[in-house]
Amino acid sequence: MKTRATQRLQRIQQIKNNMLGVTAIDGIAMVSSRDVADMFEKRHDNVLQSIANCGCSKEFNLLNFKETLYKDNQGRKQREVLMTKDRFAFIVMGFTGRKAAIW
């Protein structure tokens, strides 16, 4: 039986996941770099730069992110990165600002 505190924590996590647009890909929860940029009020190109400069090992990167393309409003293909919770946490720890502070 779940305690009320456990239920509240799970609900908070569900809300955070919904806010970030968490998607399951091959059974793994992932979030888009575009959603991270929106959530933390960052430019998407700056989020991509943070990902590129994180200093993570090649093995960590292969396990925790997937590059993909999306179509922008003008129909052009643009790059985005889908990342796991571990990758997301690593990137967001480097952010500053009000939204990062409350996360």
Mean pLDDT by 10 residues, the chain (103 residues): 65 53 75 90 93 86 89 94 85 68 54
Q: Identify whether the C-beta of residue 70 lies closer than 8 Å to the C-beta of residue 77.
A: yes
Please calculate the CA angle 35-80-67 and round it to the nearest 5 degrees: 125
**Predicted local confidence at residue 55, as pLDDT:** 83
Residue 23, beta-bridge partner list: 30
At 67, is the secondary structure helix, strand, or coil?
strand
* Per-residue buried b or exposed e for 31-47, using 16+ beta carbons within 10 Å of the residue's own CB: bbbbbbbebbebebeeb
Q: What is the pTM of this model?
A: 0.68
Q: Residue 76: which domain range?
A: 4-102
Number of domains in the chain: 1
